[in-house]
Structure 1
């Protein structure tokens, strides 16, 4: 019975993820950014600089995949690769000045987008969503701690 619920949860997460990605892709189509590119930009806005391997780990993607995404972001002028002065073999990815403007746009758009989603929801519905998401996060963190 619990395995079936696990499968249902996985299916719901995939559906929610696909819906959010499609709607965010639409919101950012004028910037030519894909959801994975937006995720990297969000991470860099938080961390300021990360190695490709760190981004790969956080996104659960291969280094080569992340490197390709970063190549495209670099061509768009949103990130730059910077070699470490301590160890020249280490390369960090940092947001460019242009990325600061993008981050503000991203933050405002996502906040507005999520605000419109809950706009017509009742207080009870919002509380139920928050409770469910918090419960899921706690369950996931508990599983992560077992590893």
Structure 2
């Protein structure tokens, strides 16, 4: 029987959900959700500067993003500020505490990732590296670094 396109889609969706849960479990110790981490990451990377940009960047409903930003603001991780030239425009930025929790969450995630990969053979890592295109360049760099360490 031939593999159908929908089978590939279902598989990728399953991988996406599993990876999301894995990340969520990794950052739970910082009281962050996957969406919280993605918002912090968007702000830290400069890919989003407003709630609307976060919504577009993360492909999520604006009201959901706004709720998460409200939580992050109450936690002291994000601050809103009005643009001086157009007071209607509200810009977002990470606070020092937000940068700190973001770095801590990334360190926790990286530690967990490296621990998981320590039990994987170099041949599996090389195969994984083949799937690391430009959209997943950070993963490609991580896999490459780990391959170099294992060599």
- Normalised-by-shorter TM-score class: 0.7 to 0.9
Matches within 5 A, 1:28-107: 28-47=27-46, 50-107=49-106
2:32 is paired with a residue of what secondary structure? coil
Q: Summarize the Cα distance change of 1:81–1:100 in structure 2 as closer, same or farther, 3 Å threshold.
A: same
Residue 121 of structure 1: aligned partner: 120
What TM-score, normalized to structure 1?
Answer: 0.80
Task: In structure 2, list runs of 5 or more residues that go unmatched.
Answer: 137-151
Q: For the Cα contact (< 8 Å) 2:76–2:95, is it kept in 1?
A: yes
What TM-score, normalized to structure 2?
Answer: 0.78
Which stretches of structure 1, 4 residues or more, deviate above 4 A after TM superposition?
none
Task: Confirm or deny that 1:13 pairs with 2:5.
Answer: no
Q: For the Cα contact (< 8 Å) 2:30–2:105, is it kept in 1?
A: no
Deviates more, 1:114-123 or 1:64-73: 114-123
Q: Summarize the Cα distance change of 1:135–1:32 in structure 2 as closer, same or farther, 3 Å threshold.
A: closer
Q: Summarize the Cα distance change of 1:17–1:49 in structure 2 as closer, same or farther, 3 Å threshold.
A: closer
Q: Summarize the Cα distance change of 1:106–1:119 in structure 2 as closer, same or farther, 3 Å threshold.
A: same
Q: Summarize the Cα distance change of 1:49–1:60 in structure 2 as closer, same or farther, 3 Å threshold.
A: closer
CA RMSD, 1 decimal? 2.2
CA distance in 1, matches of 2:84, 2:58: 26
Alignment coverage as a number of residue pairs? 135
TM-aligned CA deviation for residue 116 of structure 1:
1.9
Task: In structure 1, list runs of 5 or more residues that go unmatched.
Answer: 138-147
Residue 145 of structure 1: aligned partner: none
